[in-house]
Structures are given as C-alpha cells and as structure tokens.
Amino acid sequence: MHVRLSTNWSMPFVIVVLATFVSLVSCGCTRDPEWLAKLKALPVSGELVRKHDDRGGQAAAFSPDGKLLCVGYGEKERDKLLSLWDVEGLRHVADLEGHRHDIRAVAFSPDGQLLATVSRDATMRIWDVATRKTLHVMTFPRGSSDAVAFSSNGHEVASASEASLYIWDCRTGVHLGRGEAQGIVTAVVHSARHDKWIVGDRHGGITVLDGRTRKPVFEKPPYANGTIENLTVSETGCTLLACNSHVREITVWSVGEESLKLLTRLRLGTDRPALYAALTPDGKNAIAAFGDDRIGILVFRCDTGMPVARIPDSPYKIFVSPKNGHCLFLAPRKKAVLWKVPEAK
C-alpha cells in the first residue's frame, strides 16, 4: 500500500507529528497510559542514604558483610578502573591497579577475603582484599568476559569467554575445567542449593551446569533475540531472577536438582525495557531499573509479579547488598547513589 502526503502539509508539521509519535512510543504511553499512571502513583520505597562524587560505573559488588563496596569503571569514565569504597560513609578507600581496559564484572568471595574482577583486557584477576594485591591473573583464550562469580563454598571462581564457562581454584589459580553454554555468556551465578552454575547468554538462553561435572543438566532455549543482562540468586540458592532486556521480560525461577521451574513473570506494563534487575537476598522482592525518570525504579513482589513500590531514580544498573538493605545505583554521567530499601513484609 502506498501513502501519499498531501502537498498542503508543511514539512515542519510532519516532523512535529512524527516526533510526537516517537516520543509516546519511547515512554510506553502508547501501550498502556493508565498502567503508567499507576506506576507513578506507587508509594516510594526506602530512603536516600547518600550520593558519591564519582560518576558512571559499569560493575559493582558489595562484600558479604555489606561494609565494603567494589566499583569498576570504563576507561572513558575514570583513570583508576577499580575502586573500593566504605559503605557506611560511601567514602573512597583504595584503588586497585592492574587491569588495562573497561571493567565488566566484579564479585566478592563468600568469606569476603577475595575479590574477582574481569575486564576487556581479556583477563580475570583475583585480589586479596586485605592487602589490595593481585594473587592470580587468568587470561581468556577467546577474548574478554562479561561475567564472574564465586561458588557458594568459596572454593571455586567461574568466568566466561564466548560460550565457555571456565572454572578455577580461587586459592591456587589452577584451572579445574570448563562447561559449555548455549551462546555467548553474559551472566553467571552459583546456586548453593544443588551446587549448580547457572549461565545466561546473549540470545536469552539459560543453562544449568552441574557443579561437579560441569555438564548441562537443564537448558532453557534461547529466544530469536534477547540478552540475559544479569542473573541473581537468593541466599538459599532456591530462587533465581533473570532479566532479559531485549524482550522486556523479568522472570523468577525455582532452582531444582536438574531443572528450573518458572514461578512468575514480573508485570512491567511499559514499553521501556528493564535494563537491569536484582533480587533481594531473601528472594521475596525484585528491583528493576528502566533508565527512565518517568518510571523510576520499580520494586516487585516475586510471588505475585506485581509492582508494590517505586524509587525516584533512573539508573542503568542496580546492585543489592546482602546486608542492611542497601542498594547501589549506577548510571552514565550521573553520581552513584546509595539507597536503603526496607525488608519485604
């Protein structure tokens, strides 16, 4: 079908109409304006603790006791790519030097003594948190990594290159083996419940690997398009949250011996994709970031999938402390924000 614009229409008028339409689509108003209004009317959850002078940040992790914070940056954001902060005062403690390119992911060991970091320089580093010194440097054979995690017992550390998950002894640095995902790995967590590595990939697939054999025991097939931006697991290892931004889906799963069981899909109700989501340590609530001031951050109940509160900020990434209800919000060119979220009732 061919459509001809009337020659009586001026070009500025056409541009205004098209711009208005694009604006409505981008904010989700064309999908369900009433739902967007309900989101804005949700009660505000928690309170601002403080803001940090540093801007940006690409990755972060809280120590297990919630007292220390590690933040990784891109080369264009900061000269020093890794920083340790004291959470209580949100003050700078130290810089860790060694990586040469953007930091993609960071993780503390369960006892808080070790720190693992991966970078676009195609290396993973294991640090002694007390001395701030590098203990081991691992080089990926097939490019850089976007994910890193410790096993729940603290004996192993895992990171990925392309579709392979590499496992090392985190104390000795010895390579223990590898497992294969369904696509290029973008996220990894370990479930203590059944000793399983759970891996998300660039095409929306989720693979569960046996912690001993590193063989797949369950595979959720990938989408035609869609990326698992991040995975988080509850303290018990029983509940898994997966954020797939391209298909605008956040799912909550029960972790079984050899499978994942879908519990609920969070009702986002907006055309804005969820850029990042995190699970609270008890597994009861999920916190999702949309990078949009009109929506803010939404707090969902995992059992119902419904939003119950909002936070007036628009970060790109959210990191939740295992203690004290603290959350760190990171966004390009914006100051880092520390927020306290009350426990679920």
The 3-class secondary structure across the chain, one letter per residue, is: CCCCCCCCCCHHHHHHHHHHHHHHHHCCCCCCHHHHHHHHCCCECCEEEEEEEEECCCEEEECCCCCEEEEECCCCCCCCCEEEEECCCCEEEEECCCCCCCEEEEEECCCCCEEEEEECCCEEEEEECCCCEEEEEEECCCCCCCCEEECCCCCEEEEEECCEEEEEECCCCCEEEEEECCCCEEEEEEECCCCEEEEEECCCCEEEEECCCCCEEEEECCCCCCCEEEEEECCCCCEEEEEECCCCEEEEEEECCCCEEEEEECCCCCCCCCCEEEECCCCCEEEEECCCCCCCEEEEECCCCCEEEEECCCCCEEEECCCCCEEEEECCCCEEEEEECCCCC
Question: Per-residue pLDDT averaged across 244-256, rounded?
Answer: 87
- Binned at pLDDT 50, 70 and 90, residue 225 comes out as low
- Binned at pLDDT 50, 70 and 90, residue 222 comes out as confident
pLDDT for the residue numbered 14: 33
Higher-scoring residue by pLDDT: 267, 134: 134
pLDDT for the residue numbered 329: 93
Question: Per-residue pLDDT averaged across 203-222, rounded?
Answer: 94
Higher-scoring residue by pLDDT: 79, 323: 323
- Binned at pLDDT 50, 70 and 90, residue 294 comes out as confident
- Binned at pLDDT 50, 70 and 90, residue 224 comes out as low
pLDDT for the residue numbered 8: 42
pLDDT for the residue numbered 23: 37
pLDDT, mean over the chain: 86
pLDDT for the residue numbered 140: 87
Task: Pick the most confident of 103-112, 135-144, 309-318.
Answer: 103-112
Lowest-confidence region among 23-27, 158-162, 185-189:
23-27
Assess whether pLDDT exceeds 80 at residue 26.
no
Assess whether pLDDT exceeds 70 at residue 1.
no
pLDDT for the residue numbered 345: 58
pLDDT for the residue numbered 55: 85
Q: Is the pTM of this model over 0.85?
A: yes
List the chain domain ranges.
30-340
Higher-scoring residue by pLDDT: 20, 341: 341
- 152-170 pLDDT tens trace: 999 999 999 899 999 999 9
- 40-66 pLDDT tens trace: 889 998 999 999 888 889 999 999 999
pLDDT for the residue numbered 142: 76
Higher-scoring residue by pLDDT: 53, 231: 231
Higher-scoring residue by pLDDT: 25, 301: 301
pLDDT for the residue numbered 336: 92
pLDDT for the residue numbered 327: 94
Q: What percent of the chain has pLDDT over 90?
A: 62
pLDDT for the residue numbered 167: 96
Regarding the domain delimited by 30-340, which CATH topology (the fold level of the hierarchy) does it fall under? Answer: Methylamine Dehydrogenase; Chain H (2.130.10)
